[in-house]
């Protein structure tokens, strides 16, 4: 199984880098993990709605160009459908049974995602109604993917 994460921006905080590195190592046992970072746009204070839309569109174009047309695409979005860890494990298993060998997850930038990215998704997923930085959500996503594989393989996962 190939897991791809397409994310806007680079990870800057050391604590996030360390956590992401740890879960990336743990996932090697279960899947081929690839993280694609697309450039984020500079965000100034007091942006107009038009300027925010332009930034989201530019970042969205970068995301769409990085997507693999054969993969099942799950976009993380606050308005997506929530799912439990067990539900994610079941979804990954079901996608494999359906013949998907690649799943890609998309994480937007600080301003969110352009509608074109959401339209390109096979599924919109939310982890919470709380707001997280795109850097923190990458760590949470990797932990949840790892947890899903542990559940899927009937291994203990409360570690």
pLDDT of residue 79: 92
pLDDT of residue 134: 83
pLDDT of residue 137: 95
Mean per-residue pLDDT, 17-28: 97
Annotated binding-site residue numbers for S-adenosyl-L-methionine: 76, 108, 127-132
Burial-class residue 84 by CB neighbours within 10 Å (0-12, 13-18, 19+): exposed
pLDDT of residue 124: 98
Annotated binding-site residue numbers: 76, 108, 127-132
Query: CA nearest 77: which of 40, 39, 123?
Result: 123
pLDDT of residue 157: 79
Mean pLDDT of the chain: 94
138 three-state secondary structure? helix
Residue 159 has pLDDT above 80, yes or no: no
Rounded distance between C-alpha atoms, residue 139 and residue 107, angstroms? 11
Q: In this predicted model, what pLDDT tens digit does every residue of 58-114 receive, in sequence order?
A: 999 999 999 998 999 999 999 999 999 999 999 999 999 999 999 999 999 999 999
Percent of the chain predicted with pLDDT > 70: 99
Rounded distance between C-alpha atoms, residue 19 and residue 103, angstroms? 21
Residue 121 has pLDDT above 90, yes or no: yes
Range with the lowest mean pLDDT among 77-81, 103-107, 128-132, 136-140? 128-132
End-to-end CA distance of the chain: 23
Rounded distance between C-alpha atoms, residue 70 and residue 134, angstroms? 25
Q: Find tokens 């956590």 and name the residue.
A: 19
131-137 long-range contacts (CB < 8 A, ≥24 apart) are 131/78, 134/7, 134/8, 134/9, 134/107, 134/108, 134/109, 134/110, 135/9, 135/11, 135/12, 135/13, 135/16, 136/16, 137/76, 137/107
9-152 is a CATH 3.30.1540.10 domain: no
pLDDT of residue 133: 87
Q: At 142, is the pLDDT very low, low, confident or very high (cuts 50, 70, 90)? A: very high
């Amino acid at each position: 199984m190939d897991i791809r994460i397409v994310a806007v921006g680079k990870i800057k905080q050391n604590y996030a880098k360390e956590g992401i590195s740890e879960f990336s190592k743990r996932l090697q046992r279960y899947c081929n993990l690839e993280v694609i970072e697309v450039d984020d746009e500079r965000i100034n204070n007091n942006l107009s709605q038009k300027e925010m839309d332009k930034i989201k569109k530019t970042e969205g174009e970068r995301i769409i160009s990085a997507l693999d047309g054969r993969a099942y695409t799950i976009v993380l979005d606050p308005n997506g459908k929530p799912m439990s860890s067990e539900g994610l494990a079941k979804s990954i298993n079901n996608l494999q049974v359906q013949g998907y060998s690649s799943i890609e997850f998309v994480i937007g930038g600080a301003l969110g995602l352009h509608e074109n990215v959401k339209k390109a998704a096979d599924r919109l997923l939310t982890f919470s109604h709380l707001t997280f930085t795109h850097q923190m959500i990458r760590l949470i996503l990797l932990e949840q993917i790892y947890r899903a594989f542990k559940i899927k393989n009937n291994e203990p996962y409360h570690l």
